[in-house]
Amino acid sequence: MKKHFPLLLLLLCLFSCTETSTKMMITISPVNNGKALQITGFDPAIINDISRDSSATAWQTLMAVYRMPADTTLRNLQPVQPGRYTVKDNVVIFTPDTAFSTQQTYFFRYYDFEAGGKLTDLIKSHTKPGTLHYTDLIFKQ
């Protein structure tokens, strides 16, 4: 029994250290003849919680739409595209205050607040603790 204890301990450690992938699959698509953006894939509990807050700033902490600058290296300096967020059946619809321009490229940025919270995330991504993790999805009307 004592011979198998280190092996059993090693196996127990390996199984307890495995991570389950709960990666969000976020998708965007134009709706209402390109006048709005449909956003799907967020956890319904998060969407329902944020939808109780009517302010746009609550939505922008999780997701926001921006105009793509000509110099894409300035992407992080762009102001948020103002608009209204509505929820229907766990789908978020973003309707901009000013209609999307057909010649303009935009990007939708969503934040993953759970990413980077584990030591293995920090090692894999080479980021610093406390860094926000986000994904940009580019679209054009």
- Residue 98: domain span: 20-140
**What predicted TM-score, i.e. pTM, was given to this entire model?**
0.71
Angle at 66 between CA 61 and CA 67, to 5 degrees: 170
> Would you give per-residue pLDDT tens digits along the chain (141 residues)?
455 544 444 444 444 444 444 556 899 999 999 999 999 998 888 888 888 876 667 888 889 999 999 999 999 999 999 999 999 888 999 999 999 999 999 999 998 766 545 555 445 555 555 556 789 999 997
* Cα separation values, 141 from 52, 113, 134, Å: 30, 29, 23
Q: Is residue 41 in some structural domain? A: yes
Q: Which amino acid is at 54?
A: S
Q: Is residue 60 in some structural domain? A: yes
* CATH number for position 93: 2.60.40
Three-state secondary-structure class, residue 47:
helix
Q: Is residue 2 in some structural domain? A: no
| Contact between residue 30 and residue 37 where contact means Cβ atoms under 8 Å apart | yes
